[in-house]
Chain A
């Protein structure tokens, strides 16, 4: 059985339909990259899976359990953790406190604040600093660490490289790669196509709320993806 199974999911922001009849599966241990232009519905899809948006139609199943109507905080207890776009740390609180707050669901597992420090050595010196004073890379590391502290089975990463220096992006991705090597299941949104193809087993490309191309990272060509990204296929069909 797939770890995550999405069936005909529709998510709306008022009158705008951001996600349209999306269906896909994520298997245990897989890394899936979600790419697409701004406004394609990637962030909404991730937030829908995490429970921050209620879908209008369709089902979300985690390990066969229907979690479509479950509130976000209970999904964390089931093992879904989202690293939100823009990090959304509690800026007035310290790194340590941001990590500890994620223990609220009480989900058992191997992640502790000490292990987060080992995974992200750049945080060691900043452990008791307020998050508002951290650099972008340190904030992103804290945000990923905070999600890991919930001991997730499925980690959702929303544009972790956004607003970071190239050096910081490398550092963050090094940690993501070590997570992948340890067998984590990850669904990530990434604008950098090369990076997405490098870390992921499978790539899905979204356009106007739908998944238009899906395939193994090794077999999809850059052209196929860029065509889907800019909607060339659709236009070709229309002509």
Chain B
């Protein structure tokens, strides 16, 4: 594999990570909630698609017609039932409750489906292993290209939605000041529930591509959560274009790491993530110091 192919593959893989991170970043940006059940919810969507493909023999892409609205409903219920209530009790409680939710979801899935490893790849014909010939013995996977294109459409579409539609404006304003937005006639509870639904629809899409490109089992969510997190943090949480850039940086680091050494894949990804994190802290040093001081008292 030449370095050029590795670069292209890294960028395409980045599209996948950006898709995973999209919902996470959107939820953090809008509702200031870190959803630790993000990965598990993607696995829930993957199982939903798998059931429809396996039992009813529908194409997984067609199954999205059922699964995406279902994920939207789950988002609505998640916001109204768990996040909204827990957010009233402070900043930490929503994180803990989504962590609890992740554990519940994983074990419910385990009860229902057992520990077998599944994949959607067998249900989409040859898409999972078809590739484009770049010449010179280089190939890139069709699925990877499709994932990248969908990720760009998804993130770009969401960004346009947030920028130009009245509902998008309301979502941004609610993110900035949920109290004041009520005073100009916006129902912030409704807006937050819509935003949670949108976030979970993106999670549904991420679940499809996750299940197409790899195997999954009930406990696969946490690794996806880590990749989503890394992409989101590298790109700067809350910004959708930043998330895409973060995904691509992570994908490039992993692919180039693997190019250098077979075990370099995860190592390089985590390494870049840590570098960015340390760099951020270093650059925003005084600001972070002030933040810590305000959180943990003036003694520091």
Interface residues of A (CB under 8 A from B): 50-52, 71-73, 76-77, 81-82, 84, 88, 90-93, 97, 100-107, 146-147, 149-150
Q: B163 — nearest CB in chain A belongs to which residue?
A: A97
With contact pairs A73-B187, A92-B176 given, residues A97 and B182 touching in the complex (Cβ less than 8 Å)? no
Is B179 an interface residue, CB under 8 A from the partner? yes
B166 and A100 form a contact (CB under 8 A)? yes
Given A73-B182, A88-B177, A101-B186, 4 further pairs, Cβ under 8 A: A51-B183, A72-B182, A73-B185, A101-B170
**Binding site secondary structure of chain B:** helix
Q: Which chain A residues lie closer than 8 Å to B177 at the CB level? A: 88, 90
B183 and A50 form a contact (CB under 8 A)? yes
Q: Of A52, A73, A91, A149, which one neighbours B186 at CB under 8 angstroms?
A: A73
Task: Looking at the assembled complex, report how far the CB atom of A166 sits from the nearest CB atom of chain B, in whole angstroms.
Answer: 27
Q: Which chain A residues lie closer than 8 Å to B169 at the CB level? A: 93, 97, 100-101
Q: A80 — nearest CB in chain B belongs to which residue?
A: B183
B176 and A91 form a contact (CB under 8 A)? yes
Interface residues of B (CB under 8 A from A): 166, 169-170, 172-173, 176-177, 179-188
The CA-CA distance from A103 to B176 in the complex, in Å, is: 18
Task: Looking at the assembled complex, report how far the CB atom of B240 sits from the nearest CB atom of chain A, in whole angstroms.
Answer: 14
A52 and B182 form a contact (CB under 8 A)? yes
Q: Which chain B residues lie closer than 8 Å to A81 at the CB level? A: 183-184
Q: Which chain B residues lie closer than 8 Å to A93 at the CB level? A: 169, 172-173, 176
The CA-CA distance from A84 to B181 in the complex, in Å, is: 11
Q: Which chain B residues lie closer than 8 Å to A90 at the CB level? A: 172-173, 176-177, 180-181
Task: Looking at the assembled complex, report how far the CB atom of B221 sits from the nearest CB atom of chain A, in whole angstroms.
Answer: 32
Please give me the 9 A-B residue pairs with the lowest Cβ-Cβ distance, nearest first: A105-B185, A76-B185, A72-B182, A88-B180, A102-B184, A104-B185, A104-B186, A73-B187, A90-B173
A71 and B182 form a contact (CB under 8 A)? yes
Count CB-based A-B contacts (< 8 Å): 71
The CA-CA distance from A72 to B186 in the complex, in Å, is: 9
The CA-CA distance from A146 to B181 in the complex, in Å, is: 11
Task: Looking at the assembled complex, report how far the CB atom of A64 sits from the nearest CB atom of chain B, in whole angstroms.
Answer: 21
The CA-CA distance from A219 to B188 in the complex, in Å, is: 44
Task: Looking at the assembled complex, report how far the CB atom of B30 sits from the nearest CB atom of chain A, in whole angstroms.
Answer: 13
The CA-CA distance from A71 to B176 in the complex, in Å, is: 20
A84 and B166 form a contact (CB under 8 A)? no
Q: Which chain A residues lie closer than 8 Å to B173 at the CB level? A: 90, 93, 97, 101
The CA-CA distance from A146 to B170 in the complex, in Å, is: 14
Chain A to chain B contacts (Cβ below 8 Å), 25 pairs: A52-B182, A71-B187, A73-B183, A73-B186, A88-B177, A88-B179, A88-B183, A90-B172, A90-B173, A90-B181, A91-B176, A93-B169, A93-B173, A93-B176, A97-B169, A101-B166, A101-B181, A102-B184, A102-B185, A103-B166, A104-B170, A104-B185, A107-B185, A146-B184, A147-B184
The CA-CA distance from A51 to B184 in the complex, in Å, is: 11
Q: A146 — nearest CB in chain B belongs to which residue?
A: B184
The CA-CA distance from A88 to B179 in the complex, in Å, is: 10
Task: Looking at the assembled complex, report how far the CB atom of B88 sits from the nearest CB atom of chain A, in whole angstroms.
Answer: 15
The CA-CA distance from A101 to B178 in the complex, in Å, is: 13
Task: Looking at the assembled complex, report how far the CB atom of A108 sits from the nearest CB atom of chain B, in whole angstroms.
Answer: 13
The CA-CA distance from A63 to B176 in the complex, in Å, is: 33
Task: Looking at the assembled complex, report how far the CB atom of B81 sits from the nearest CB atom of chain A, in whole angstroms.
Answer: 20
Residue among A51, A104, A146, A150 with max Cβ neighbours from chain B (10 Å): A104
B176 and A76 form a contact (CB under 8 A)? no
Task: Looking at the assembled complex, report how far the CB atom of A145 sits from the nearest CB atom of chain B, in whole angstroms.
Answer: 11
Task: Looking at the assembled complex, report how far the CB atom of B189 sits from the nearest CB atom of chain A, in whole angstroms.
Answer: 9
Q: Of B172, B181, B184, B187, which one neighbours A150 at CB under 8 angstroms?
A: B184
Residue among B173, B179, B188 with max Cβ neighbours from chain A (10 Å): B173
Task: Looking at the assembled complex, report how far the CB atom of B179 sits from the nearest CB atom of chain A, in whole angstroms.
Answer: 7
Task: Looking at the assembled complex, report how far the CB atom of B181 sits from the nearest CB atom of chain A, in whole angstroms.
Answer: 7
Q: B179 — nearest CB in chain A belongs to which residue?
A: A52
B170 and A76 form a contact (CB under 8 A)? no
Q: Which chain A residues lie closer than 8 Å to B184 at the CB level? A: 76, 81, 101-102, 104-105, 146-147, 149-150
A72 and B166 form a contact (CB under 8 A)? no
Q: B176 — nearest CB in chain A belongs to which residue?
A: A90
Q: B180 — nearest CB in chain A belongs to which residue?
A: A88
Task: Looking at the assembled complex, report how far the CB atom of A18 sits from the nearest CB atom of chain B, in whole angstroms.
Answer: 17
Residue among A50, A90, A97, A146 with max Cβ neighbours from chain B (10 Å): A90
The CA-CA distance from A105 to B187 in the complex, in Å, is: 9
Q: Which chain B residues lie closer than 8 Å to A106 at the CB level? A: 185
The CA-CA distance from A77 to B188 in the complex, in Å, is: 14
B180 and A150 form a contact (CB under 8 A)? no
Q: A76 — nearest CB in chain B belongs to which residue?
A: B185
Q: Which chain B residues lie closer than 8 Å to A103 at the CB level? A: 166, 185
The CA-CA distance from A175 to B179 in the complex, in Å, is: 26
A51 and B176 form a contact (CB under 8 A)? no
Q: Which chain B residues lie closer than 8 Å to A73 at the CB level? A: 182-183, 185-188
The CA-CA distance from A9 to B173 in the complex, in Å, is: 31
